[in-house]
Structure 1
Amino acid sequence: MRKSLLLFGFALALLSCNKEQAAGGKEFKTAYVDTYKLLEESEEMKDFTNKAKVKEGELSRELQQKAKELQLDAASFESEARVKGMQWAQLKQQELQKRQRDLGIMQETFREEFDKEFGVKRDTIVSQMRKFIKDYGKKNGYDYIYGTGEAATVLYAREGYDITKKLIKELNEKYKAQASKEEPAKKEEKN
Structure 2
Amino acid sequence: IEEKYKVRDEVFSKRADSIGQAFQLEAQDMQIKARKMSQQKAQEVYDELGQKQQLLQQQLQFEQQQLQQAFNLEIDSAIIKVKDFVKAYGERNGYKLILGTTDAASTVMFGTTEDDLTQIVLDSLNAGYKKD
Amino acid at match of 1:107: L
Tell me, in whole angstroms, the C-alpha distance in 2 between the residues paired with 1:62 and 1:76: 21
2:58 corresponds to = 105
Q: For residues 117-171 of structure 1, what are the alpha-carbon distances to aligned partners after superposition, in whole Å with 9 as ceiling and x for unaligned?
A: 2211111101111221222222222232211112111111222111112333454
Instruction: Name the larger-Rg structure.
Output: 1
**1:137/1:144 contact within 8 Å kept:** yes
Could you say what secondary structure the match of 1:120 adopts? helix
Instruction: Note if 1:51 corresponds to 2:34.
Output: no
Of 61, 65, 69, 2:18 maps to 65
Tell me, in whole angstroms, the C-alpha distance in 1 between the residues paired with 2:7 and 2:37: 43
Q: How does 1:40-189 map to 2 (within 5 A)?
A: 48-149=1-102, 150-171=104-125, 177=130
Could you say what secondary structure the match of 2:36 adopts? helix
Amino acid at match of 2:110: Y
Amino acid at match of 1:160: E
Kindly, what percent of the aligned residue pairs are identical? 27
Could you say what secondary structure the match of 1:83 adopts? coil
Q: Taking CA–CA contacts closer than 8 Å with sequence separation of 6 or more, which of the two structures ends up with the larger relative contact order?
A: 1
TM-score (norm 1): 0.59
Tell me, in whole angstroms, the C-alpha distance in 1 between the residues paired with 2:45 and 2:15: 23
Of the structure 1 ranges 149-158 and 122-131, higher mean CA displacement relative to structure 2 is found in: 149-158
Tell me, in whole angstroms, the C-alpha distance in 1 between the residues paired with 2:123 and 2:31: 70
**1:143/1:156 contact within 8 Å kept:** yes
Amino acid at match of 1:106: Q
Gaps of 5+ in 2: none
**1:63/1:103 contact within 8 Å kept:** no
Could you say what secondary structure the match of 2:35 adopts? helix
Of the structure 1 ranges 97-106 and 164-173, higher mean CA displacement relative to structure 2 is found in: 164-173
Give the deviation of 1:173 after TM superposition: 5.9
Could you say what secondary structure the match of 2:110 adopts? strand
